[in-house]
Amino acid sequence: MFATDDLQQRWWNLEAKLTERFGKKPDMETVLFLIGIQETGLVSDKISKEQKQDLMHVAVCTILQPSGYYLPEEKDADGWPHFKQIKELPVLTLPEQENFLKDHVLLYFQQQEF
């Protein structure tokens, strides 16, 4: 079995859990959006496009933090976390980028004991 096969199987398992919980199969953007909501605690009936992008940014910084790419700096007056990039992200092809993110998302959910 290849490492990518294991990664894909673990990703499918996560998708199945999220589908069961939310009733719809999530794509990567949706998963990042959910992580962003979890990390910020934002609860709102209306979320602007800019807020969605900000939530996904918070998610990416959060999931890449354990690998040493980002450090949390502070929370602003609205409670939004801000991060400092401390090392360059690797240059990857699109499929490699997706696997890189999937691996970090899976680690996040593992740490959250989901």
What does the pLDDT profile of the chain (114 residues) look like in tens digits?
455 679 999 999 999 999 999 999 999 999 999 999 999 998 888 999 999 999 999 999 999 999 999 999 999 988 899 999 999 999 999 999 999 999 999 999 999 988
Kindly report the backbone phi and psi dihedral angles of residue 19, in degrees, each rounded to the nearest multiple of 5, phi listed first.
-65, -40
Q: Within 13 Å and on the Cβ side, how many CA atoms surround 57?
A: 13
State pTM to two decimals: 0.89
Kindly report the backbone phi and psi dihedral angles of residue 77, in degrees, each rounded to the nearest multiple of 5, phi listed first.
-60, -25
Decide if 68 contacts 87 (C-beta within 8 A). Answer: yes
So what's the pLDDT on residue 81? Answer: 94
Burial of 60 (0-12, 13-18, 19+ CB in 10 A): buried
So what's the pLDDT on residue 3? Answer: 59
So what's the pLDDT on residue 88? Answer: 96
